[in-house]
Structure 1
Amino acid sequence: MYRLYVKRSLDVLFSVLMLIAASPLMVIITILIKATSDGPALFTQKRHGVDGSTFTLYKFRSMRQGAPIVSAQDAGKTLDSQITAIGSFLRESSLDELPQLFNILKGDRSFIGPRPLADVDKETLILRAENGSDTVKPGITGLAQVNGRNFLNAEEKAHYDKLYADSISFGTDFKIVWQTFYHVIVRTGITHEQIARKYE
C-alpha cells in the first residue's frame, strides 16, 4: 500500500508545497546564475530511472558551459576552475537540487530512493540491474546518501540501493529524511575534491 499509493501521494503533496515555498529563492538563484556566468540557469542531463529507462534531470547550473562530465569518483581539483562563482555554495548547500522538485512532480523521481545515475556510472548501473534495485524510482536522497554519499564505491552504492529496495516503508523513508537534514547541515560526505560531482 505505502509503496504503490502513499509514497507517490506524499511526493506530489510535498513537491507542490516546497515549490510554492521555494519559488522566491529559486528566482533569486536564477538571477544570480545568469549574472555571474554565461549559459542557462538550469542544467539538464539524461539520467537512468526505473528499469533503466531515462528521463531529463533538472538542476541549477553550478559548472561553466562545456565542463567535462565525470563520475563522482573521478571528480577532483582539476575541475575547480569549471565551477561558477556561486557554484560551490549551491552544491554545498544542496540548493542546486531545488529544480528536481519538478522531476518529482512529473513522476520521474521520488523524494527518497537510489540516486539517479548518468551513463558515466556504468558499473553501478550494471550492479543495480543485477540485484534488482533499479526497479525503485530514483530519489533526491536515499540510503546510500546518508551512509557515505560520494565516499562510496560502486559496489557499496548498489548494496545500499538493494537494502532500500527490499525495505521500503514510511518508517524507513522518515528516518532517511531526518538523516539527510543532519548531513546537509553539517555537510558530511562533501570534500573540496568532490564538490565537482558527476553531473556536469
Structure 2
Amino acid sequence: MYKFFLKRAVDFILSLSGIFVLALSMIVIAIAVKLDSPGPVLFRQKRVGIHKTYFNILKFRTMRTDTPHDAPTHLLQGATSYITKVGGFLRKTSLDELPQLFNILAGQMSVVGPRPALWNQYDLIKERDKYGANDIKPGLTGWAQIHGRDELGIDVKAKLDGDYVKMMSFFLDAKCFFCTIGVVAKADGIVEGGTNELKKRVKK
C-alpha cells in the first residue's frame, strides 16, 4: 500500500511544500551561483530512474563549465580544482541538491530512495540489479546516504540500497529523512574525487 500509493502522495506534498518554503533561499542561491562564475545556474545531467529509464537530474551548478560532463566525481582527476567557491559551500551543505524537489514533484524521483546513478555508472547499476534497487524511484536521500555517503564502496552502497527495497515503509522513510538532516548538518561522509577516500585517509 505505502510503496504503490502513499509514498507518491508523501513525495508530492513534501516536494511542493519544500518548493514554497525554500523558494526565496533558492533564488538567493541562484543569484550567488550566477555571480560566482560564468555559466548556467542549473546543472542538468542524465541519470538512471526507475526500471533503468533515464531522466535529467537538476542541481545548482557547483563546478566550472569546462568540467567533464558525464564523469562521476569520484573518478574525476583533480575534482576539487573544478569546484567553484560558491559550489564548494553548496556541496558541503548539500544545498546544490534543492532543485531536485522539482524532479520529485514531476514524479521522476522520490524523497527517499537510492541516489540516482549516472547513466554510465555501469558497475553501480549492475550491482543494484542484484537487489532490485533499480526497480524503484531514486531518491533525494536514502538508506545508504545515512550510512556513509561518498565514502561507501560500490558493493556496499548497492547492498544498502537493496536493504532499503526490502524494508521500505513510511517509518523507514521518516527515519532516513530526519537522519539526513543530522548527516548534512555535520557534513558526514562527503568526499570529493574518490570513493572510499575517507577510509584511505584514516589508514595513512
Task: Tell me if 1:74 matches 2:75.
Answer: yes
Relative distance call for 1:54 and 1:135 in structure 2 (3 A) is same
Distance 2:107 2:72 in 1: 25
Indicate if the aligned counterparts of 1:49 and 1:137 stay in contact, CA closer than 8 A: yes
Distance 1:79 1:107 in 2: 31
* 4+ long deviations beyond 4 Å: none
Q: Secondary structure at the match of 2:140?
A: strand
TM-score by length of 1: 0.92
Deviation at 1:75, TM superposition (A): 4.4
Q: Which aligned pairs between 1:78-89 and structure 2 lie closer than 5 A?
A: 78-89=78-89
TM-score by length of 2: 0.90
Alignment match, 1:54: 54
Q: Secondary structure at the match of 1:96?
A: helix
Q: Deviations over 1:67-110 (max 9, x none)?
A: 0243243246x122211120010011111011000000000000
Indicate if the aligned counterparts of 1:72 and 1:150 stay in contact, CA closer than 8 A: no
Identity of aligned residues (%): 39
Structure 2, unaligned runs of 5 or more: 195-204
Alignment match, 2:101: 101
Structure 1, unaligned runs of 5 or more: 195-200
Q: Deviations over 1:34-91 (max 9, x none)?
A: 1111110000011001111000100000000020243243246x12221112001001
Distance 1:105 1:9 in 2: 10
Relative distance call for 1:192 and 1:51 in structure 2 (3 A) is closer
Distance 1:153 1:192 in 2: 14
Structure with bigger RCO (C-alpha 8 Å, 6+ apart):
1
Alignment match, 1:143: 143
Indicate if the aligned counterparts of 1:114 and 1:161 stay in contact, CA closer than 8 A: yes
Indicate if the aligned counterparts of 1:51 and 1:129 stay in contact, CA closer than 8 A: no
One-letter amino acid of the structure 2 residue matched with residue 74 of structure 1: L
One-letter amino acid of the structure 1 residue matched with residue 39 of structure 2: G
Alignment match, 1:197: none
Alignment match, 2:128: 128
CA RMSD of aligned residues (A): 1.4
